[in-house]
Structure 1
Amino acid sequence: MSPIDRVDRRLMSGEAYDRIRAAIVTGDLAPGERVKDSELAERMGLSRTPVREALARLADMGLVEAKPGVYTRIATLDKDEVARTLAVLKALDELAVRTGTPNLTKGDLNLMRDLNTEFEAAVARNDVQAALEADERFHSVPVTAAQNPLIARVMDQLHPQIHRILYRKFSTLYGAQNTGGHHRELIEILASGDAEEAAKRSGAHWNELGGLIDQLFANAELTA
């Protein structure tokens, strides 16, 4: 096998990973659904090897559950696991905001304002994908400013666990939170340079989201 072949294989594995992860987030692959690498490979026009590698990565992230020789399935939504994920995301986001605030430029703040405008427009037209993308890009600005790639890497691994809930209950979670208004409040605090208050505002956002998700579980609205 040549070096070029190895690069191609990694690219195919990455493509399979991105596409399967997206299908899990959007619900095209539903919680509890059993999957076969052969069927996914045929569906995506790829060989089985990169699909198997992608499923292994997704299992490490908690998005796929596998019992060798028995089944591979999309992970169900577990209340305790979601709570643990939210706790880690909250802590990392607070840390990123706290350390990133002094590094934010006027350009960064203007970008956040533009992204929030995009977010609110997407919410208004019920465009779930565009809203999620704008929201993630919005919050990535202070994360990038924190200049700690480890924070960004771990958050990127954990976000899909929450995004698939947001996808299923978009209007409930985004509408009830007035997320656009919270974004504007955060921008103003960041512009003032008050890192502790900004981190506190960020933490409050995660607390409110967690409370809404807890209520969805209590109402059995997130069962597979």
Structure 2
Amino acid sequence: MPIPSTHGVHKRSLLRDHVYESIRDAIVEGTLSPGERLRDSELEEWLGVSRTPIREALLRLERAGLVIAQPGKATMVAPYDLESTLSAQQVVASMHELAARLAVPLVTKLHVQQMTEANERFAAALDAEDVESALSADAELHGVLVANCRNQVVVSVLEQWTPVLLRVERKRFASSAARTSVKQHAAIIRCVAAGDAEGAAVASRENWLSLRYSQD
């Protein structure tokens, strides 16, 4: 299995969450590709931790649909799958809808400014064909409402299921279809600025449901 060039990036004293995040990000970014076998020994060498936090991370990734464990055989990166992707999309869209509905009454002009600037960076990143920056700006924009919804369950659900969609978003943001998201983001921001919680909720849901799955 191909692994990042860095070794021992996590000391044993660090939280197991960091191990989970490192493997998750490698899957989302494509360093660990669909169908790739995940060997404990190689993960131990890369992350610099014992097998226990690695196995715990793989169990979490399995629950999130990013890893498939075959008892007695192997653990591998889950392939792209239409049914599981659509299921995750429905859940994530619903959580962002709820986050917007809860957050809009609480956000300030500064938050609106942060969302506006994030969308400007998102558009610029698309123009520059910079997928990583586009993903970062998109996450920052939506993150303003999630951070202000004051509902930790929403946050937890999104942390579990958003990575499944990021593999699809990565492809979308590399195509011209992503330009639609700039306008959708602007619609969300207008509703937030106007204090229209219901409008922001609907616009947020539609933005996430507009993501199209492709196996190509």
Whether these two folds match at TM > 0.5 is yes
Q: What's 2:160 paired with?
A: 157
Listed as ranges, the matches of 1:30-179 within 5 Å are: 30-172=33-175, 175-179=177-181
1:130-163 residue CA offsets vs partner (Å, 9 max, x unmatched)? 2112111110111222111110111111110000
Q: Does the 8 Å contact 1:62/1:75 carry over to 2?
A: yes
| Structure with the largest fraction of helix | 1
Q: TM-score, normalised by structure 2?
A: 0.87
Identity %: 39
Number of residue equivalences: 206
C-alpha RMSD over aligned residues: 1.8
User: Per-residue deviation at 1:41?
Assistant: 1.5
User: Which amino acid is 1:205 matched to?
Assistant: N
Check conservation: 2:104, 2:145, Cα contact below 8 A. yes
TM-score (norm 1): 0.85
Report what 2:5 is aligned to.
none
Determine if contact 2:134/2:173 at 8 Å carries over to the other structure: no
Partner letter of residue 188 of structure 1?
R
Give, in whole Å, the separation in 1 of the partners of 2:53 and 2:178. Answer: 40
Q: How many angstroms apart in 1 are the aligned matches of 2:61 and 2:94?
A: 23
Q: Distance in 2 between matches of 1:27 and 1:73?
A: 13
Long gaps (5+) in structure 2: 1-10
CA–CA distance in structure 1, aligned partners of residues 139 and 46 of structure 2: 28
Task: Using the TM superposition, give the Cα deviation of residue 192 of structure 1 relative to its aligned residue in structure 2, in angstroms.
Answer: 0.8
Q: Matches of 1:10 and 1:27 in 2, distance apart? A: 27
Which secondary structure does the structure 2 equivalent of 1:73 belong to?
strand
Match of 2:193 in 1: 191
> 1:31 Cα deviation (Å)?
1.0
Of the candidates 199, 202, 215, which is equivalent to residue 200 of structure 1?
Answer: 202
Q: How does 1:209-220 map to 2 (within 5 A)?
A: 209=211, 212-213=212-213, 216=214, 220=215
Q: How has the CA–CA distance of structure 1 residues 119 and 55 changed in structure 2, closer, same or farther, with 3 Å as cutoff?
A: same
Q: Is the 8 A contact 2:12 2:49 kept in 1?
A: no
SS of 2:126's partner is helix
Cα distance, 1:169–1:101 mapped onto 2, change above 3 Å: closer
Residue 204 of structure 1: how far off its partner (Å): 1.8
Q: Secondary structure at the match of 2:206?
A: helix
Q: Secondary structure at the match of 2:79?
A: coil
Equivalent AA in structure 1 for residue 58 of structure 2:
L
How far does residue 103 in structure 1 lie from its aligned partner after superposition?
0.8
* Cα contact 1:119–1:134 (8 A) shared by 2: yes
Cα distance between partner residues in 1 of 2:41 and 2:102: 46
